[in-house]
Structures are given as C-alpha cells and as structure tokens.
C-alpha cells in the first residue's frame, strides 16, 4: 500500500526563497508539504505532484479571533490537508482536546483532510504500551467526539501517532511498538467511530536511516516528518523509501 509523507516544517525556513527551493526538492506524489502560513501561496504555486498542507487552523469562519485563520481561508489558498492537535501546539499554545475536537469538525466540514496528532509523554510510556494506549485512546475519544455525524467527510481523517518523547529528539520509537499503537488506534476508531480503512501515520525523529524499518509494518500508513523534511537531500531519501510502496 502507498505510504503518505507529511512534511511539517514548523516555524521554518526563515525566507520564502528557501521555502520555495525546499518545496521544489520535495515535490513528489504521496507527499504533503506544510509550510508556515505566509509561505502557503508561494509554495502552493510551484507544487505539481505534492499536496499543500497547513500546520493549524481555527474552528470558525470569521469573527473576533485575533491571529487566527479559518478553514475556508486555507481552502481558498489551495490547502488540502491540515495538521490538528500537534503536541507543540498542545504544549506551547495550551490547546485542549475540546479545542482540537472543534478544529477537527470544522476542517472536515470545510472539505479539508485532517492529520490529527495524538501520543503520550515519556512518563506514561515508562509504564508500558498498555498505558500509552489508554492515554492515546482518551485523546482520541475527546478529539473525535464530534465526528460521528460527519459520515461523508470521515474518509478525510488521518491520525498520526507521535510519542512526545520521540519528537525532535533523535530517539524514534521502536517500529514494532508504533505498529502496535497504530493497530490499537485503527481498531478503536473502527469500533467507536465506525472509521474503516483509517490511515495511521507515525511521527517522531523519522530519518532516511530508520524509515525503511518503520515502513515494514502494514499498520503504519506513512510518516509525519519534522526536522528531516527541512533537509532537501535527506527528505529526498525518505521520499525514495516511500516510493517503494507506490501503487
Ligand atoms: C513533528 O513535527 O511532528 C515531528 C515528528 O518532528 P521530528 O520529525 O523532527 O521528530
């Protein structure tokens, strides 16, 4: 099965010219590129094969919400995917599951594909995989509480399992454990939300060196890539690894 790669550039790069150069190098089928908001237009303009994604959005169309961006604005800018609930937003912006749940519903209603991120801190993982499953399960129940009536949009939902301690640390999860988490997420979403054929990605210190071992597992439908997506040569290698699964 084809593997999906979502490139999360976070607050990088500094200049638009760099963003455009990086996007050109990353422009491949099965890739979603998520630049900072001010670079969306310039990056979207040059993409031929990759899709354009955003790193966040707000849940209403307009109003007194200083600094926010609506799903409709993103759609008009050519965005097809949006990351929701990234752990950095949960941590630095204090996004709650309630806020994330509203974003998921608003994005799906607007016709965007949602990449929802869940995952446990190290204190939880130290207690074992069962504890990690309970933690991610609770996040999913809250974050997806409003999706049950969105049956026609639900196929546009993608979940990323991102153990917090693996993000940006160079310490990726053991792929066997990530696959077990992905399996749990798929099973839970199938029984609770009737979500069939859900794509579950892995995120956390993915590199060209570990991507093949991660992709060996069928339960893992792709990867959310942060740091390694900012290095064109490195990301090309990750794309090459993913292309072995192209259909
Ligand atoms: C991320 O941005 O979600 C991420 C997984 O980052 P990194 O690949 O750098 O760990």
| pLDDT class of 1 with cuts at 50, 70, 90 | confident
The conformation of residue 218, written as its DSSP 8-state character, comes to: T
pTM: 0.97
Average pLDDT, rounded, for the chain: 96
Separation of 172 CA from ligand 1 center, angstroms? 10
Domain span at residue 84?
A: 4-243
pLDDT of residue 150: 75
Q: Whose CA is nearest to atom 2 of ligand 1?
A: 226
Task: Report the atom number in ligand 1 closest to the C-alpha of 86.
Answer: 3
Separation of 127 CA from ligand 1 center, angstroms? 23
Active site residues: 86, 162
Number of domains in the chain: 1
Whether the pLDDT of residue 126 is over 90: the answer is: yes
Instruction: Determine the length of the chain.
Output: 247
The CATH number of whichever domain residue 119 belongs to comes to: 3.20.20.70
Q: For ligand 1, is residue 168 a contact (CB within 6 Å)?
A: yes
Whether the pLDDT of residue 192 is over 90: the answer is: no
Residues 35/7, Cβ–Cβ less than 8 Å: no
Separation of 87 CA from ligand 1 center, angstroms? 10
Q: What is the pLDDT of residues 150-188, one digit of tens each?
A: 777 778 999 999 999 999 999 999 999 999 999 999 999
At what angle are helices 129-143 and 175-193 packed, to 10 degrees? 40
Q: What is the pLDDT of residues 28-45, one digit of tens each?
A: 999 999 999 999 999 999
Q: For ligand 1, is residue 206 a contact (CB within 6 Å)?
A: yes
Q: For ligand 1, is residue 205 a contact (CB within 6 Å)?
A: yes
CA atoms within 13 A on the CB side of 97: 14
H or E element that contains 91 = helix 87-92
């Amino acid at each position: 099965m084809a593997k999906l790669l979502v490139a999360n550039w976070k607050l990088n790069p500094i200049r638009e010219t760099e963003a455009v150069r990086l996007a050109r190098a990353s422009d491949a089928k099965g890739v979603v590129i998520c630049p900072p908001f001010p670079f969306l237009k310039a990056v979207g303009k040059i993409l031929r094969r990759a899709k354009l994604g955003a790193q966040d959005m707000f849940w209403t169309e307009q109003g007194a919400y200083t600094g926010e961006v609506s799903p409709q604005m993103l759609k008009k800018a050519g965005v097809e995917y949006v990351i929701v609930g990234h752990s950095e937003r949960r941590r630095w912006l204090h996004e709650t599951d309630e806020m994330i749940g509203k974003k998921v519903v608003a994005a799906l209603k607007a016709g965007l594909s949602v990449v929802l991120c869940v995952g446990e801190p190290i204190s939880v993982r130290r207690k074992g995989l069962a504890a990690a499953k309970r933690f991610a399960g609770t996040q999913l129940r809250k974050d997806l509480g409003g999706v049950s009536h969105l049956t026609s949009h639900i196929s546009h939902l993608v979940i990323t399992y991102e153990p917090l301690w693996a993000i940006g640390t160079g310490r990726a999860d053991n792929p066997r454990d990530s696959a077990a988490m992905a399996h749990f997420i798929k099973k839970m979403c199938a029984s609770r939300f009737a979500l069939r054929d859900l794509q579950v990605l892995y995120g956390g210190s993915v590199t060209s060196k570990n991507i093949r071992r991660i992709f060996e597992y069928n339960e893992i439908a792709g990867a959310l890539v942060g740091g390694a997506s900012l290095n064109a040569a490195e990301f090309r290698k990750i794309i090459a690894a993913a292309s072995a699964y192209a259909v």
